[in-house]
Amino acid sequence: MTIHAPIPRPDRRPLTIRLATPRGFCAGVDRAIQIVERALEKYGAPVYVRHEIVHNRHVVERLKAMGAVFVRELDECPDDRPVVFSAHGVPKSVPAGARARDLFFLDATCPLVSKVHVEAERHHAAGRHIILIGHTGHPEVVGTMGQLPPGAISLVETVADAEAFQRPGDAALAYATQTTLSVDDTAEILAVLKRRFPELPDPHKEDICYATTNRQEAVKRLGEGCDLVLVVGSKNSSNSARLVEVAIRAGARDARLVDDAGHVDWNWFDGVSTVGVTAGASAPEPLIAALVDAIADRFDATVVEDAGERETVTFKLPRALTD
């Protein structure tokens, strides 16, 4: 969606709006949403979705209106309707339970999360104990830990956790990370682990996904020159919350997470001459455009789009939806 230039308002205070690039939907989120939409087109409503397909309230509400039914567990799903697993991934017990009931299911797990699952299984098969850097209770962490038997993975959330971690016996070690973490926070935790356990191998490829990394780099550039940074995203979106933290660290005087333009407190703009606008990987572009319009309605705004990484990654849909 194109962000249109605002109408000049010379009678109002001038304000520069800097738009981060990239921002908003990533390939994994786009794929997951398409899976639900295509399933509704092909099989009709209702289609059941285990947990929020992505962490964005507006996306979830729109899909509900189309006929998606969001549930917490499979026992809430009837036997005769399709079920979609969320983009965050699920423990192995979930598809096993679906197969036991002969449910038709579609797995919308982001391929980059699936890559972490495969790495965890590879390390486990090689006899290594896995340290997972991530946030307790996040669906992605629950899904990754659920790929292996209890006790095979130890969760580390902070530098203090990394200092306190104890190797189980004389086990060889490996590590993996949640894909939506702060790149800088993860580097600090990993530095401690590498100091304590120098033999820790590097992953074949970075676990933190390209989209998370690109959006954090973009918001660093905003933070360096903005008085205020607004991040469009829902509170339960890990990657969106990290963008707020990154903006503050980069030098922004203030940074806020907002669901949409209706959640902006205009007192935040007191003394602000430059505002940065970005969005988490699960936030739709129309919400960003609406926020820019709302700001432009109150100020004599000039919109500048920052130069940044242009993303061309796409992920294939399940064959059941493309045949």
Site of tokens 């949403």: 33
From 271, 212, 274, 203, select the one nearest 19 (Cα to Cα): 274
d(CA 183, CA 39): 34
Task: Indicate which residue of 37, 41, 76, 140 is catalytic.
Answer: 140
Provide Rg for the chain, Cα atoms.
21
Contact status, residue 52 vs residue 74, Cβ threshold 8 Å: no
Contact status, residue 6 vs residue 65, Cβ threshold 8 Å: no
* 255: its two tokens: 């940074």
From 130, 108, 128, select the one nearest 177 (Cα to Cα): 130
* 151: its two tokens: 């006790």
Amino acid identity for residue 5 in this structure: A
Whether 206 is catalytic is no
Alpha-carbon distances of 246 from 79, 224, 253, rounded to whole Å: 44, 10, 12
Positions annotated as catalytic residues are 140
